[in-house]
Amino acid sequence: MTFESSPYYLFHPLALDRIAADLPDVKLVVLVRDPVERAYSAHAHEAARGYEDLSFAAALEAEEGRLDGEVERLLGDPAYESHAHRHQAYRSRGEYAVQLERAAASWAASASTSSTVTASSPMARANSTRS
């Protein structure tokens, strides 16, 4: 058994289709965390890495403008890389329902078997400490 992890896989509009096409029998496990905690933590992480210079509140206000048209560009040019989409989508990346619906559609369209498990991070942590 092998695991791979990246929070961006669920958010990128092409990643799940690519994964499902290349690895049709892969099992997808999605761990989600509280979206507010995730957004605040992501902002701190991006600021520490030098990818964000706005305060958390200002970054949330700027997010819609920063992301305007980025999904369309990503879909239109598979080689396009969006700094804003990857590093400054604090609120949007916590909108899990949209991302999980896309995941289900990717697997239904491409995979030979459908298997997606979703758990919140606190539940996963609690279950991992049980013997």
What percent helix, strand, coil does the chain show, rounded to 5? Answer: 60, 10, 35
Instruction: Work out the percent of the chain whose per-residue pLDDT is above 70.
Output: 83
Task: State the Cα–Cα distance between residues 46 and 32, nearest whole angstrom.
Answer: 19
pLDDT in tens, 1-30: 777 788 899 999 999 889 888 888 888 888
- pLDDT digits 0-9 by tens, 36-47: 999 999 999 999
Total number of residues shown for the chain: 131
- Model confidence at 67: pLDDT above 60: yes
